[in-house]
Amino acid sequence: MAVGFRIDFLLYQIGHGDFLHSFFSTISFHLEPEGWGTKYPYLLKKLYQGKLSWKDAPKALEELNTIQKQLKHYGPDKVIWDIEDLSKQPPWKDNISSEITDLSNYFVTSDGRDLIEVLKRALRDSINEKIDLEIASL
């Protein structure tokens, strides 16, 4: 099932739900030694559960900027497809573009955009429009 971010009538296409789960799994596995949402609660607890208040979007944007910097320290081979089952691998295995150099640029939406940049845009739009950000089925 395809998912995306939604702010009222604005839609930001992401791709398959497993892909978005992989993004959050990768963050938690590598950057949250105390467990899911302990270091980045606005993204991994609130947004991941389906909805983030526009009032919390500035905090989530700060988290995302930190996450982006930290993911640069991990090679593409360190992607986590499913934190609940570490044996699972992406459907494309290690057949990825040479443009992907680390986990900060690993996640590309189904329409070819950098997922982190798409999420930043959605968070900024949420703040500007004063409308909550949701994960939605498309």
**Eight-state DSSP code of residue 132:** -
Q: b/e map of 53-75 (b: 16 or more CB within 10 Å)? A: bbebbebbbebbeebbeebeebe
Amino acid at 91: P
Name the pTM for this structure. 0.95
Amino acid at 130: K
Residue 16: CB atoms within 10 A of its CB come to 13
Tens digits of residue pLDDT in 63-117: 999 999 999 999 999 999 999 999 999 998 888 888 999 999 999 999 999 999 9
Question: Where are the chain's structural domains?
Answer: 2-137
